[in-house]
């Protein structure tokens, strides 16, 4: 892989013990909130550096409701709109540092000797949403027709080089992304996992090695939350909207991203940052619906639904498994699981 350049000196001369930032690598706008919203909001609330890297603009995402129906099938218009949604969600979470992966310039893009910081326009092609289809409740698979510019088909070395540039520039203490299945199977999520792990291997040994987290959920906690979705607290929070949604089957096989509760390395309490996370979810109005705070129910603190109309819980904690790197260094709010 070629050496990527960014030109920004942010964090470049920081000693390892001074590194406190977190960098989250995601596939589409809304993933930063749906998967890692509490972690990012907690880090930001502690006044520590937070960077979000997004691979695509979600051009092929499904659109919820009549208000945004004119965006359905218009990839360029939907992409532009989702950039606005993403910016609003990041503000809600308290995150000010965002990078679209395809805008990170490499020497092959014609960057000068000093390069340019991530965020400046690159001359290469845009990474486009690969699309997906719902295969089952909470699971996705590759779409039958994948567009030529789909992120899932981008040369892995090229995308990896761009992320390596961001890692060397930001030098985060923690990097978070999806597990090998991409959480729920979306091909872009799987690709993000692959390139993130390759990029981390590329920087290993050069003083930028971070702790590495994969987003996971405790199995029993998630099952309990699914059952609580049918309860009175959720019904009261949703009101008439509840009749338009499908309840998940609490007895179905848990999603692939779940692990035994005791296998979680980190559990981030959601309650202290719940308002931020809910506001960020609401910002993604084309993709997320029925966003509600839920009180009086120990198994969850909120709920929402995606375009499949299946109600989902906002769990009391956001779970992670650490898979590599030194012990976590960060704000006291994310608590290790006993």
**120 lies in the same domain as 197:** yes
**38 lies in the same domain as 172:** yes
pLDDT tens column, 201-249? 999 988 778 999 999 999 999 999 999 999 999 999 999 999 999 999 9
Spatial separation of the C-alpha atoms in residues 222 and 183, rounded to whole Å: 14
Evaluate whether 262 touches 338 at the Cβ level (below 8 Å): no
**205 lies in the same domain as 194:** yes
Within a domain: 338 = no
Within a domain: 336 = no
Within a domain: 10 = no
What percent of the chain clears pLDDT 70, i.e. is strictly above it? Answer: 81
**163 lies in the same domain as 233:** no
Within a domain: 165 = yes
pLDDT for residue 16 = 41
Q: pLDDT category, 28, cuts 50, 70, 90?
A: very high
289-328 as b/e: b if 16+ CB within 10 A: bbbbebeebebbbbbbbbeeebbbbbbbbbbbbbeebeeb
CATH of the domain at 46: 3.40.50.10320
Q: Name the helix (H) or strand (E) containing 212.
A: strand 211-218
Residue 140 has pLDDT above 70, yes or no: no
**304 lies in the same domain as 172:** no
Q: pLDDT category, 334, cuts 50, 70, 90?
A: very low
Within a domain: 203 = yes
**191 lies in the same domain as 125:** yes
pLDDT for residue 38 = 97
The pairing of beta strand 335-336 with beta strand 50-54? unpaired
Q: How many other C-beta atoms can be found within 10 angstroms of the C-beta atom of residue 66?
A: 7
**75 lies in the same domain as 33:** yes
**194 lies in the same domain as 130:** yes
Rounded to two decimals, the pTM is 0.87
Residue 33 has pLDDT above 90, yes or no: yes
Evaluate whether 24 touches 176 at the Cβ level (below 8 Å): yes
**105 lies in the same domain as 222:** no
Residue 61 has pLDDT above 50, yes or no: yes
pLDDT tens column, 237-276? 999 999 999 999 988 888 888 999 999 999 999 999 999 9
pLDDT tens column, 74-114? 999 999 999 999 999 999 999 999 999 999 988 777 654 33
Within a domain: 3 = no
Residue 130 has pLDDT above 80, yes or no: yes
**242 lies in the same domain as 148:** no
**62 lies in the same domain as 170:** yes
The residue that leads in pLDDT, 336 or 243, is 243
The residue that leads in pLDDT, 33 or 251, is 33
Spatial separation of the C-alpha atoms in residues 268 and 39, rounded to whole Å: 6
Determine the 3-state secondary structure of 135 from DSSP.
strand
| Residue-number span of the structural domain to which 311 is assigned | 218-259+287-316
What value does the mean pLDDT of the chain take? 86
pLDDT for residue 165 = 95
Q: What distance lies between CA 124 and its chain's CA centroid?
A: 24
Which tokens go with 329?
């260094």
Spatial separation of the C-alpha atoms in residues 239 and 231, rounded to whole Å: 12
**Beta-ladder partners of 258:** 217
**163 lies in the same domain as 294:** no
Within a domain: 301 = yes
Number of domains into which the chain is organized: 2
């Amino acid at each position: 892989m070629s050496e990527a350049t960014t030109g920004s000196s942010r964090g470049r001369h920081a000693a390892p013990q001074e590194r406190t930032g977190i960098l989250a690598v995601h596939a589409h706008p809304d993933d930063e909130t749906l998967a890692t919203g509490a972690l990012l909001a907690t880090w930001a609330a502690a006044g520590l550096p937070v960077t979000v890297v997004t691979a695509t603009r979600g051009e092929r995402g499904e659109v919820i409701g009549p208000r945004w129906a004119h965006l359905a099938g218009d990839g360029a218009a939907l992409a532009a709109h989702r950039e606005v949604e993403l910016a609003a969600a990041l503000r809600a979470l308290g995150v000010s540092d965002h990078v679209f992966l395809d805008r990170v310039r490499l020497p092959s893009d014609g960057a000068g000797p000093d390069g340019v910081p991530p965020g400046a326009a690159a001359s290469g092609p845009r990474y486009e949403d690969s699309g997906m289809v719902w295969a089952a409740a909470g699971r996705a698979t590759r779409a039958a027709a994948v567009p030529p510019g789909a992120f899932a088909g981008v040369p892995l070395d090229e995308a990896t080089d761009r992320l390596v540039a961001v890692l060397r520039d930001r030098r985060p203490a923690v990097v978070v992304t999806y597990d090998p299945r991409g959480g729920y199977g979306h091909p872009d999520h799987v690709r993000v996992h692959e390139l993130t792990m390759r990029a981390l291997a590329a920087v290993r040994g050069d003083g930028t090695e971070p702790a590495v987290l994969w987003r996971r959920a405790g199995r029993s906690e998630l099952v309990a939350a699914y059952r609580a979705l049918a309860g009175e607290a959720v019904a009261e929070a949703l009101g008439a909207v509840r009749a338009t949604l499908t309840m998940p089957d609490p007895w179905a096989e848990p999603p692939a991203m779940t692990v035994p509760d005791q296998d979680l390395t980190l559990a981030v309490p959601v309650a202290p940052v719940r308002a931020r996370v809910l506001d960020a979810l609401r910002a993604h109005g084309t993709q997320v619906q029925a966003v509600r705070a839920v009180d009086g129910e120990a198994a969850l603190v909120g709920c929402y639904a995606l375009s499949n109309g299946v109600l989902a819980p906002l769990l009391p904690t956001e779970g992670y498994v650490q898979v590599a790197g030194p012990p976590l260094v960060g704000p006291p709010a994310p608590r290790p699981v006993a």
